[in-house]
């Protein structure tokens, strides 16, 4: 009889729990116990790291060979969305500057002897890493003004007013890198085409950051211009290949010039 009563009580508890409104059942679930007294595990909540990774997956720049977010150091898992947006703004800005710098290295070294270039007095020469010291008065003043105007505009468009809790942060509605500057109307209206174009910009900017670092390191070590270094390498490889052929057919070997021996 007692066993029958316990079974009936258990069934009535289950039925009562099932007949409760959804709001009451939700309250019971949140408390962590059912009507019968059993523990209910809490529902998993999305962490801040998951939110950051979902945002990164939606951004331009995620492409092969890294089809997912490339973050080997796990920086995104220990950061918040505000920091991630600021880093993305920094990456895009540095990529754009690096693309201009890499192009400037190559163009500057090739046009330093051209009469129409800003070298009318012949004082700019040699590797591009030393052009900075050779430029005279009249060039840096307008350049600094132009940089100041561009940076002031970027800050006004994208950066929030500094406050005690929002210092060094972007505006919530601002898309990192998008300043509305498109005089040639190149940015597509289609979202997929727009994301593809932005991905190309970011990837080229990443490559340019690596390239300009390599340019500077190479010129510091070898004290030669970029194309001069490239052509000297080609010349050395061609002479070495010719030496192999001459050695095979028994001809005198072509000596390697002194300036190529240390390359």
Rounded percentage of the chain residues whose pLDDT exceeds 70: 75
Question: Is 91 marked as binding a ligand?
Answer: yes
Q: Please report which residue ranges of 140-225 form alpha helices under DSSP H.
A: 140-158, 191-222
Residue 236 has pLDDT above 70, yes or no: yes
Residue with tokens 């002479």: 239
Could you tell me if 189 and 178 are in contact, meaning their C-beta atoms sit under 8 angstroms apart? Answer: no
Angle at 67 between CA 66 and CA 70, to 5 degrees: 45
Radius of gyration of the chain (CA): 32
Q: Does 94 show up as a binding residue in the annotation?
A: yes
Q: Is 204 assigned a ligand-binding role in the annotation?
A: yes
Domain at 48-223, CATH homologous superfamily: Chlorophyll a/b binding protein domain (1.10.3460.10)
What pTM did the predictor assign? 0.70
| Contact indicator for 76, 53 with CB cutoff of 8 Å | yes
45 among the known binding-site residues? Answer: no
Measured between alpha carbons, how far is residue 42 from residues 34, 38, 75, 215, 258 in Å? 12, 13, 28, 56, 76
201 is in an annotated binding site: yes
Map tokens 């050395």 to a residue. 236
Q: Take residue 60 and report the two structure tokens written for it.
A: 């331009």
Q: What is the pLDDT of residues 6-55, one digit of tens each?
A: 443 444 443 444 444 444 444 433 444 445 555 555 544 445 567 888 88
- How buried is residue 95: exposed, middle or buried, by Cβ count under 10 Å (0-12/13-18/19+)? buried
**258 known ligand binder:** no
* Residue 260 near residue 239 (C-beta atoms within 8 A): yes
Nearest C-alpha neighbor of 154 from the set 140, 170, 173, 131: 170
Cβ contacts of 170 within 8 Å, gap of 6 or more: 82, 85, 86, 89, 158, 159, 160, 176
Which residue ranges make up each domain of the chain? 48-223, 224-262
In the chain, how many H helices and how many E strands? 9, 0
Q: Is 200 assigned to a binding site?
A: yes
Q: What is the pLDDT of residues 113-141, one digit of tens each?
A: 776 666 656 678 888 888 888 877 778 88
Q: Known binder of ligand: residue 218?
A: yes
pLDDT one-digit tens code per residue, 242-258: 888 888 888 888 887 77
1-28 per-residue burial string, b: 16 or more CB within 10 A, e: under 16:
eeeeeeeeeeeeeeeeeeeeeeeeeeee
3-state SS, residue 170: strand
Predicted pLDDT of residue 76: 81
């Amino acid at each position: 009889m007692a066993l029958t009563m316990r079974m009936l009580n258990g069934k009535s508890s289950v039925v009562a729990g099932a007949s409760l409104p959804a709001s009451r059942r939700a309250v019971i679930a949140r408390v962590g116990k059912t009507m019968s007294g059993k523990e209910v595990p809490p529902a998993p909540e999305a962490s801040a790291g998951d939110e950051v990774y979902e945002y990164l997956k939606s951004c331009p720049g995620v492409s092969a060979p890294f089809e997912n977010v490339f973050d080997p150091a796990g920086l995104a898992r220990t950061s918040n969305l505000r920091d991630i947006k600021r880093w993305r703004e920094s990456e895009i800005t540095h990529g754009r500057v690096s693309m201009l710098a890499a192009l400037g290295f190559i163009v500057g070294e090739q046009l330093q002897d051209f009469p129409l270039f800003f070298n009318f007095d012949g004082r700019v020469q040699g590797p591009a890493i030393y052009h900075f010291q050779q430029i005279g008065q009249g060039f840096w003043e307008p350049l600094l003004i132009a940089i100041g105007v561009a940076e002031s505009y970027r800050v006004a468009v994208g950066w929030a007013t500094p406050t005690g809790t929002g210092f060094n942060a972007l505006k919530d509605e601002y898309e990192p890198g998008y300043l509305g500057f498109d005089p040639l109307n190149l940015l597509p209206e289609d979202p997929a085409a727009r994301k593809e174009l932005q991905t190309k910009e970011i990837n080229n900017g990443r490559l340019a950051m690596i390239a300009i670092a390599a340019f500077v390191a190479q010129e510091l070590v070898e004290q030669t211009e970029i194309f001069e270094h490239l052509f000297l390498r080609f010349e050395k490889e061609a002479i070495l290949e010719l030496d192999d052929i001459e050695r095979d057919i028994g001809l005198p070997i072509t000596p390697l010039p002194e300036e190529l021996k240390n390359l």
